[in-house]
Amino acid sequence: MLKGKNAFTLAELMVTLTVCAFLAALLLPAIAYIRPDKTKVLFKKAYYVAERMVYELVNDEDFYPTTGETVGLANTVMASYLGYTYGGDTDADAKSKFCKLFARKVNTTTDDVHCDNAHSKPTITYTGGGAFKEPSLVTTDGIAWYLPYSKFDKVAGDTSEIIYVDVNNEAEPNCLYNVNTCPRPDIFEIHVEPDGKMYVEGVKEREYLRSNNTSR
C-alpha cells in the first residue's frame, strides 16, 4: 500500500508566486535607489583627484615658486620633474606647464598626452549624443580629462580656468547638464584659480559634491 506524499496544491503554488511577485515589486525600487550612481561616483573621484593634484602642484616650490607678485599656477618659470622640463619663456611652453605637470602625476592609460588648445575643452553640447573630442589625457579609471592650456594670468572678470572631465570617456551622452535635454550628464566643469582654489558652479556638480552618499 502506497503511503501518501505531501505536495503543494496548485492554489498554494499560485499564492506563493503571488507573494514573491509582490515582494519583488516592493523591494526592487528600493534596491535600485540605493545602488551606487556610477556617474556621481566617478565625478566625485575626479574632483578629489583634481583637488589633490592642484594642491600638490601649487604648494611645491620646485614647480611653482613664489616670485614677486606672481601667484601659484600663474608662475610659468621653467621647472624640472623626473628628468623633464616644464614651462619656460615661449607661449606654448608657458601655457602647457600645468597640463604637463598634472599628466605626470596621475596614472594615464598611455603616454600620449595632448597639452594644447585643441584638447583643452570637449565639444560642448546640452543634448545627448554629442560628438566625442579627444581629451588631454585619459586616466586608468576611464575618465577623460581636458586640462587648461593657459598661463593662469587673467586680470579681468573671472580669473579661473576650467578642468573638464568626461567621466565615461567616449560613451554617450557626452553632454553638459540641461534640465530638459541632458538631465544625466557625463561631462562636468571644475574651476581652478591661480592660487589653487577650486570650486564648481554647475547644478549637477554642486548636487553631487554636496551629497553624503553615492546613491541615486
Report pLDDT digits (tens) over 182-209. 999 999 999 999 999 999 999 999 999 9
Rounded to the nearest integer, the mean pLDDT of the chain is 86
Rounded Cα gap, residues 9 and 7, in angstroms: 6
Instruction: Tell me if 30 is assigned to some domain.
Output: no
pLDDT tens string 92-107: 999 999 999 999 999 9
Q: Are strands 144-146 and 137-138 parallel, antiparallel or unpaired?
A: antiparallel
pLDDT value of position 70: 73
Q: pLDDT class for 111, splitting at 50, 70, 90?
A: confident
Residue 68 CB-half CA count within 13 A: 6
Long-range contacts (CB closer than 8 Å, 24 or more residues apart) made by 210-213? 211/40
23, with CB counted inside 10 A (0-12, 13-18, 19+), is exposed
What total of structural domains would you count in the chain?
Answer: 1
Q: Who has greater pLDDT, 21 or 80?
A: 80
Q: What pLDDT, on a 0 to 100 scale, did the predictor assign at position 21?
A: 60
Question: What is the pLDDT, as a whole number, of residue 35?
Answer: 46
pLDDT in tens, 134-182: 999 999 999 999 999 999 987 656 779 999 999 999 999 999 999 999 9
List Cα–Cα distances, 174 to 50, 167, 185, 186, in angstroms. Answer: 20, 9, 7, 6
Question: Looking at residue 30, what is its pLDDT?
Answer: 41
Domain that holds residue 190: 38-210
User: Would you state the pLDDT for residue 129?
Assistant: 86
Instruction: Please give the sequence-ordered ranges of beta strands (E in DSSP) within 2-154, or none if there are none.
Output: 79-81, 84-86, 137-138, 144-146
- Are 213 and 41 in contact by the 8 Å Cβ rule? The answer is no
| % residues pLDDT > 70 (the chain) | 80
The model's pTM: 0.81
Instruction: Note the pLDDT of residue 12.
Output: 58
Residues 110-134, mean pLDDT to the nearest whole number: 93
pLDDT at 128: 87
Contact of 125 with 133, CB cutoff 8 Å: no
Domain presence at residue 18 = no
pLDDT of 31 reads 39
In a domain, 15, yes or no: no
For residue 36, whether the previous peptide bond is cis, meaning omega lies within 30 degrees of 0, is no
The answer to whether residue 54 is domain-embedded is yes
In a domain, residue 117? The reply is yes
Let me know: does 127 contact 149? Beta carbons within 8 Å.
no
Domain for residue 24, yes or no? Answer: no
Instruction: Give mean pLDDT, residues 54-74.
Output: 87
Has residue 26 got a pLDDT over 60?
A: no
Backbone phi and psi for residue 202, each to the nearest 5 degrees, phi listed first = -70, 155
**Does residue 22 lie in a domain region?**
no
27: in domain = no
